[in-house]
Chains A and B, each alone.
Chain A
Amino acid sequence: MRTESPVEVDSAARRKCDRLTGQSEALLEYRGLSITFGELEAIKNVSFSVEGGEIVCIIGPNGAGKTTLLRMTSGLLKPTSGQIWFGGSRVDRLPAWQRARLGIVQLFQDIQLFSNMTVLDNVMTGAHVWTRAGFAASALNLSSAVAEEKRIREAALDELTTVGLAGRARQFPSALSWGEQKLVGLARALLARPSLLLLDEPYSGLVQDDIFRLTGLLRGLQKRGVTMLMVEHLTDVVMDVAEKVVVLHYGEKLAEGSPDSIRADERVIATYLGE
Chain B
Amino acid sequence: MKRELGVIIPAIADRYGVRGGRLVVAVAGVVLLTLPLWATAYVVNMFTTIGLYSVLALGLVLLTGLAGQVSLCQAMFYGVGAYTSALLAVRLGIPPALALVSGAAAAGLVAAPLGRAILRLRGIIVAGVTLTVNLGFFYLVKSAAELTGGATGLYLIPRLDSPGGMSYSSFIFFVVWGLVILCLVLTSNLVKSRIGRALKSMNVLAGGSEDTAQVLGIDVMHFKVGVYIVAAVFAGAAGAVYAHRMTVIEPHTFGAQTSVLIAIMAIVGGVTNPWGAILGATLIVGITEVFREVAPVVLGGATGAYELVAYGVVLVLTLLFLPEGLFSLPTRLRKRHED
Query: Residues on A close to B: CB < 8 A?
Result: 74-76, 95-98, 100-101, 105-106, 108, 112, 114-117, 121, 124-129, 131, 133-135, 138-141, 145, 148-149, 152, 188-189, 192
List A contacts of B219 (CB < 8 A): 95, 97-98
Q: Report which residue of B187, B194, B203, B207 has the largest number of chain A beta carbons within 10 angstroms of its beta carbon.
A: B194
List A contacts of B207 (CB < 8 A): 114-117
A138 to B, closest residue via Cβ: B193
- Top 4 closest pairs, chain A to chain B, by CB: A115-B207, A129-B217, A100-B217, A138-B193
Alpha-carbon distance A95/B214, docked complex (angstroms): 8
Are the C-beta atoms of B190 and A100 separated by less than 8 Å?
A: no
Are the C-beta atoms of B189 and A75 separated by less than 8 Å?
A: no
Are the C-beta atoms of A128 and B216 separated by less than 8 Å?
A: yes
Query: Residues on B close to A: CB < 8 A?
Result: 186-187, 189-190, 193-198, 200-201, 203, 206-209, 211-220, 226-227, 230
List B contacts of A75 (CB < 8 A): 214-215
Are the C-beta atoms of B215 and A116 separated by less than 8 Å?
A: no
A contact face: mostly helix, strand, loop, or mixed? helix
Given contacts A108-B212, A114-B207, A116-B207, contact A138 B217 (CB under 8 A): no
B187 to A, closest residue via Cβ: A139
Given contacts A101-B217, A192-B216, contact A145 B194 (CB under 8 A): yes
Q: A116-B207, A127-B194, A139-B230 are known; give 9 further A-B pairs, CB within 8 A.
A: A75-B215, A97-B214, A112-B212, A114-B207, A117-B207, A125-B216, A135-B195, A139-B186, A192-B216
Quote the shortest CB–CB distance from B262 to chain A (angstroms).
21
Given contacts A97-B218, A114-B201, contact A138 B189 (CB under 8 A): yes
Alpha-carbon distance A12/B59, docked complex (angstroms): 37
A76 to B, closest residue via Cβ: B211
Alpha-carbon distance A98/B217, docked complex (angstroms): 6
Are the C-beta atoms of A133 and B214 separated by less than 8 Å?
A: no
List A contacts of B200 (CB < 8 A): 114, 116-117, 121
List A contacts of B190 (CB < 8 A): 135, 138-139
List B contacts of A115 (CB < 8 A): 206-207
Are the C-beta atoms of B208 and A100 separated by less than 8 Å?
A: no
Alpha-carbon distance A101/B216, docked complex (angstroms): 8
Q: List 25 A-B contacts (CB under 8 A).
A: A75-B215, A96-B211, A96-B215, A97-B214, A97-B215, A97-B217, A98-B219, A100-B214, A100-B216, A106-B215, A114-B201, A116-B206, A116-B207, A117-B197, A124-B194, A125-B197, A128-B194, A128-B216, A138-B189, A138-B190, A138-B194, A139-B187, A139-B195, A140-B186, A141-B189
Cβ 8 A contact of B216, one of A105, A117, A121, A141:
A105
A74 to B, closest residue via Cβ: B215
List A contacts of B195 (CB < 8 A): 133-135, 138-139
B contact face: mostly helix, strand, loop, or mixed? helix
Are the C-beta atoms of A76 and B189 separated by less than 8 Å?
A: no
Alpha-carbon distance A127/B197, docked complex (angstroms): 10
Alpha-carbon distance A126/B209, docked complex (angstroms): 14
Alpha-carbon distance A166/B171, docked complex (angstroms): 51
List B contacts of A74 (CB < 8 A): 215
Quote the shortest CB–CB distance from B301 to chain A (angstroms).
49
Given contacts A114-B209, A116-B208, A135-B190, contact A126 B196 (CB under 8 A): no
List A contacts of B203 (CB < 8 A): 116
List B contacts of A108 (CB < 8 A): 211-212
Quote the shortest CB–CB distance from B78 to chain A (angstroms).
20
Are the C-beta atoms of A148 and B216 separated by less than 8 Å?
A: no
List B contacts of A145 (CB < 8 A): 193-194
Are the C-beta atoms of A100 and B189 separated by less than 8 Å?
A: no
Given contacts A135-B230, A140-B186, contact A114 B194 (CB under 8 A): no
Are the C-beta atoms of A133 and B194 separated by less than 8 Å?
A: yes
Alpha-carbon distance A128/B203, docked complex (angstroms): 16
Alpha-carbon distance A138/B214, docked complex (angstroms): 20
Are the C-beta atoms of B208 and A114 separated by less than 8 Å?
A: yes
Are the C-beta atoms of A105 and B215 separated by less than 8 Å?
A: yes
List B contacts of A133 (CB < 8 A): 193-195
List A contacts of B194 (CB < 8 A): 124, 127-128, 131, 133, 138, 145, 148-149, 152
Alpha-carbon distance A95/B210, docked complex (angstroms): 13
Are the C-beta atoms of A126 and B193 separated by less than 8 Å?
A: no
Quote the shortest CB–CB distance from A55 to chain B (angstroms).
19
B203 to A, closest residue via Cβ: A116
Q: Report which residue of A76, A112, A133 has the largest number of chain B beta carbons within 10 angstroms of its beta carbon.
A: A112
List A contacts of B206 (CB < 8 A): 115-116
List A contacts of B193 (CB < 8 A): 133, 138-139, 141, 145, 149
List B contacts of A114 (CB < 8 A): 200-201, 207-209, 212
Cβ 8 A contact of A128, one of B187, B211, B218, B227:
B218
List B contacts of A100 (CB < 8 A): 214-217
List B contacts of A138 (CB < 8 A): 189-190, 193-196
